[in-house]
């Protein structure tokens, strides 16, 4: 197993892993072209990145964690650089779901506390390779890089019923800060990691 930073050539695989492993999420419902565009922006932007865990021999991506120093800046950069194309490929769905789009973008203020700007955006591991420590490897790599960039704290959001994700984040040093409803009727946990408690 090898852990390395993702580059643009990995974005389609990251989009595919996201869509196949997070089936109830809002972003996959916008289609593969939208997700591909989003991961291209993440790996190219100065403030955001993704770590991939790959098979040593084939370099096949088995899992990844995407993260950003500032989720607000990432969304703005995505809107400026990719908004037209991404909006066009997902237009019908975006129009139907404008409320969910706003809820997704605004959620960092939803719990009423001062949450860190840095965030783990996604973690997904190929279903055939779960439970082998890949999730922990890429999350640890991401928090370490954010800490090296001067981030004192990092947040992540996980569904309250996502036992695997909650266990993974707790294993990687995150603690539950609050419970929120980003979308009405769907409960999520906000977890925070502090570099001082490493």
Ligand X SMILES: CC(C)(COP(=O)(O)OP(=O)(O)OC[C@H]1O[C@@H](n2cnc3c(N)ncnc32)[C@H](O)[C@@H]1OP(=O)(O)O)[C@@H](O)C(=O)NCCC(=O)NCCS
CA atoms of 51 and 43, how far apart (whole Å): 9
Q: How far apart are CA 158 and CA 102, in angstroms?
A: 18
Among 100-108, 110-118, 127-135, 174-182, which window interacts with ligand X (CB under 6 A)?
127-135
Site membership for ligand X, residue 122 (CB under 6 A): yes
Which one, 99 or 167, has the nearer CB to ligand X? 167
Based on the shown chain and the rule CB under 6 A, indicate whether residue 21 belongs to the binding site for ligand X: yes
Which of 30, 50, 147, 158 binds ligand X (CB under 6 A)? It is 158
| Site membership for ligand X, residue 61 (CB under 6 A) | no
Instruction: Indicate the residue whose CB is closest to ligand X.
Output: 135
Q: Quote the least distance from Cβ 50 to ligand X, whole Å.
A: 12
Q: Does 52 bind ligand X (CB under 6 A)?
A: no
Which burial class, exposed, middle or buried, applies to 184 when counting CB atoms under 10 A from its CB (0-12, 13-18, 19+)? exposed
Angstrom CA distances, 169 to 74, 154, 190, stand at 22, 11, 11
Q: Are 142 and 184 in contact (CB under 8 A)?
A: no
**Interface with ligand X includes 134 (CB under 6 A)?**
yes
Task: Name, in order, each residue with C-beta under 8 angstroms of 78's C-beta and a sequence gap of 6 or more.
Answer: 37, 38, 41, 86
Q: Which is nearer to ligand X, 89 or 121 (CB)?
A: 121
Query: Structure tokens of 50?
Result: 């993704």
Interacting residues with ligand X (CB under 6 A): 21-22, 63, 122-125, 130-136, 158, 162-165, 167-168, 171
């Amino acid at each position: 197993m090898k852990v390395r930073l993702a580059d643009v050539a990995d974005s389609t695989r990251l989009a595919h892993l996201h869509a196949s492993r997070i089936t109830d999420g809002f972003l996959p419902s916008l289609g593969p072209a939208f997700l591909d565009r989003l991961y291209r922006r993440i790996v190219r932007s100065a403030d955001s990145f993704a770590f991939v865990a790959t098979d040593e021999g084939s370099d096949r991506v088995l899992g990844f964690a995407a993260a950003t120093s500032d989720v607000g800046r990432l969304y703005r950069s995505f809107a400026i650089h990719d908004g037209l194309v991404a909006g066009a490929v997902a237009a019908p769905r975006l129009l139907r779901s404008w409320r969910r789009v706003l809820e997704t973008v605004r959620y960092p203020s939803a719990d009423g506390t001062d949450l860190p700007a840095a965030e783990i955006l996604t973690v997904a591991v190929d279903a055939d390779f779960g439970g082998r420590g890949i999730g922990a490897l890429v999350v640890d790599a991401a928090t370490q890089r954010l800490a090296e960039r001067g981030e004192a704290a990092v947040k992540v959001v996980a569904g309250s019923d996502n036992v695997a994700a909650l266990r993974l984040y707790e294993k990687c040093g995150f603690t539950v800060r609050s419970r929120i409803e980003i979308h009405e009727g769907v409960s999520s946990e906000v977890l925070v990691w502090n570099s001082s408690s490493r």
